[in-house]
Structures are given as C-alpha cells and as structure tokens.
Amino acid sequence: MLYRQFTAGLVWLLLLIAVPASALVPPAADLREEAVRYKNGEGVTQDYVRAYELYCLAALQGDSEAAYHLGSMHLNGWGRAPDDVLAAGWFSHAEKRGDASAGLMLQEHLDGVSRASDPACPLVESSPDREMVTTWVRLMAPYYGLKPELVLSLIQVESNFDARAKSPKNARGLMQLMPATAKRFGVSNIRNPIQNLQGGMAYLHWLNNYFSGNIKLVLAGYNAGEDAVKKYKGIPPYKETRLYVRRIVHIYADYIRARRGISKSSTSYASKKNQDKKAAVWQQARTRNERALSRGYISPSSIR
C-alpha cells in the first residue's frame, strides 16, 4: 500500500522528468483518471482536495467528464459544503460540452436551481483578470515542480497578466511564448490562456532540470534561450536579459516576503537622528532576517 501511494503521489513529477518535451502538458484524461483514484481512495489515501484540483485541471482543458465530477462533488458535499448553485454550474457546463448524464442530473436534482461559476476553478476566458490567472497558476504550478510565486513573478514581467499580449518578436500570451517554443512543448493553441500557461511552465520545468535548479540561470534561459546561457556559462551579457532576471528575482523575493510577513526594509523604523539606535535596530532586523532565511526566507541576494 505504501509503495502504491508513493508511486501515485509522484506520478506527474516522474512523467515530467521522463517524457519528451512535446508531451509535457498532462492530458486531461490522465488528470481525470488520477482524480478518480484520489476521490475513491484507489491505491492511495482518499483525498478530496487533491481529487478536486485534478478534476479542475482536466476541466480547464475542456474535459466534460471532469466538469461532471466537479458538479457531483459540490452536489454531494464531498470534501466541501454542499452547494447546489455551483453544482448546477458545473453540470450545465458539462452538458454544453456534450455530457448527457449532466443534463439528467440537472433535471432530476437541480431543476430550477440558479447556476454560478466556481471561483475556486474559474473556467477559461479569452481575457482573464489577474485573480483568475493567479488561481490557475496556484493550481497548475505544483504539477510542474514550480513555485507559484516564481511563475507569477515571471508573468508580471513577461506580459503583466495580459492574455492578449503580443511582442514585436511575435511572443504571445501571459508567458509570452514564441511559436517555436509553443510547438516544442505541445501547445496547439497559443492564444488559449490555459495552454499558454502550461507551455510556459513546461519550459520552465525543463529549464529547471537543465540548469539543476539555479533560478537565475532558469530565468536567463527563458529570456535568451538555454543555448545562450550555456555558451556564456552563466547569465548572458545582454542588458535585456540581465535586467529581466534582476526584475523577476526581486518580484519573487517580494512575494516570499509577503507570505512570510517579513518587512522589506530592515531599518524603516530606525531614527535618522540616533545612529547608535539605528545600528541596533539594523542588527536586530538582520538577526530576524537570518532566522527567517533559515526557515526558507528568500531575499534577492540569496536566490541563485
């Protein structure tokens, strides 16, 4: 049993490492099948939260069966409080995508119930807002072995959360995928924000393996290409790339500081008139930040 749980828990990490680049975007059917295992506890510890996330990822790719299952989870209160309105929303979505069983559920159990979209799993829109994109990233990033904060930092610099962004070099979407990169990582519709994010995260995952987790080299590779980083044995001497890496690293550090509740300025409350007091406050803040660093705090200078 422990072996089966370990295997199922690492399935996507192993797949991402083992399969060719063109297959790095997980198929919706595979996500749905894994969700069923977690919902029913088949070979793994039953986990409704994990099942919901996997169903959501599959539904975001247009999988009608996953949408049906999300409706069932809301209707029956599996892992959450029952919510007929959200259940009706998912069944309605599944029905529109051709799932006949969803239509029957609406008729038999939710006739006349109003329908609403699920804020925890917002459906794809051509122009999603920042909150929607953030929800998607927090759902998807762990399945690519990435920190959501790092992906969000990169999106802010690449496209400023504009799904319709297009660069002069023809990079498109939230993570500004070039057509060749999109093709390389299995993205069939570069304008679809979900596929665009998946392709960008697949590339980041590949770069993370290629550069052994060195975040600065990963970011430089995303901007200038891995060949340029390899050629110069580090961040290429391009002004654009160096500024790009610096900006993302600082935004990423800010995300982590905010999550940890750590002040950006260690001396913001020090008296300018009292240098001794200022030095004492600075030393105290430095000590606190060193303790925080030992617990996982990230500052720009500490990011490799």
Find out whether 249 and 303 touch, Cβ atoms under 8 Å: yes
Evaluate whether residue 115 is within a structural domain. Answer: no
Q: Which two tokens stand for residue 251?
A: 């935004």
Evaluate whether residue 12 is within a structural domain. Answer: yes
> For the segment 219-238, what is each residue's pLDDT rounded down to a tens digit?
999 999 999 999 999 999 99
Evaluate whether residue 122 is within a structural domain. Answer: no
Q: What letter does residue 175 receive in the DSSP assignment?
A: T
pLDDT at 46 over 90: yes
Find out whether 159 and 165 touch, Cβ atoms under 8 Å: yes
Q: What is the pLDDT of residue 25?
A: 59
Q: Does residue 77 sit in the same domain as residue 152? A: no
Q: Does residue 253 sit in the same domain as residue 139? A: yes
The beta strands (E) that lie in 153-254 are given as none
What radius of gyration do the chain's Cα atoms show?
A: 22
Burial class of 109 by CB neighbour count within 10 A (0 to 12, 13 to 18, 19+): middle
Evaluate whether residue 272 is within a structural domain. Answer: yes
Q: Which two tokens stand for residue 296?
A: 């996982």
Q: What is the pLDDT of residue 259?
A: 81
Evaluate whether residue 253 is within a structural domain. Answer: yes
Q: Which two tokens stand for residue 275?
A: 């240098």
Task: Output the domain CATH number for residue 240.
Answer: 1.10.530.10
Q: Does residue 247 sit in the same domain as residue 297? A: no
Q: Does residue 272 sit in the same domain as residue 244? A: no
Q: Which two tokens stand for residue 301?
A: 């200078």
> For the segment 73-125, what is each residue's pLDDT rounded down to a tens digit?
999 999 999 999 999 999 999 999 999 999 999 999 999 999 999 999 999 88
Burial class of 114 by CB neighbour count within 10 A (0 to 12, 13 to 18, 19+): exposed
Find out whether 187 and 175 touch, Cβ atoms under 8 Å: no
Give me the amino acid identity at 271: S
The closest alpha carbon to 48, from 58, 36, 38, 60, belongs to 38
Domain residues for the domain of 49 are: 2-109
Q: Pick the residue with more confidence: 150 or 268?
A: 150
Q: Does residue 204 sit in the same domain as residue 145? A: yes
Residue 260 banded pLDDT, cuts 50, 70, 90: confident
Evaluate whether residue 237 is within a structural domain. Answer: yes
Residue 264 banded pLDDT, cuts 50, 70, 90: low
- Measured CA to CA, the distance from residue 189 to residue 196 in angstroms comes to 8
Residue 299 banded pLDDT, cuts 50, 70, 90: low
Q: Does residue 239 sit in the same domain as residue 292? A: no
Find out whether 216 and 249 touch, Cβ atoms under 8 Å: yes
Q: What is the pLDDT of residue 143?
A: 87
Helix (H) or strand (E) run with residue 242 in it: helix 239-260
Q: Does residue 142 sit in the same domain as residue 245? A: yes
**pTM of the model as a whole:** 0.78
Give me the amino acid identity at 159: S
- Measured CA to CA, the distance from residue 83 to residue 245 in angstroms comes to 44
Evaluate whether residue 77 is within a structural domain. Answer: yes
Percent helix, strand and coil across the chain, each rounded to 5?
A: 65, 0, 35
Structurally, the chain folds into a number of domains equal to 3
Q: What is the pLDDT of residue 159?
A: 97
**141 SS3 class:** helix
- In the predicted model, what is the mean pLDDT of the chain? 85
- Measured CA to CA, the distance from residue 265 to residue 49 in angstroms comes to 37
- Measured CA to CA, the distance from residue 291 to residue 296 in angstroms comes to 9
Q: Does residue 253 sit in the same domain as residue 275? A: no
Evaluate whether residue 289 is within a structural domain. Answer: yes
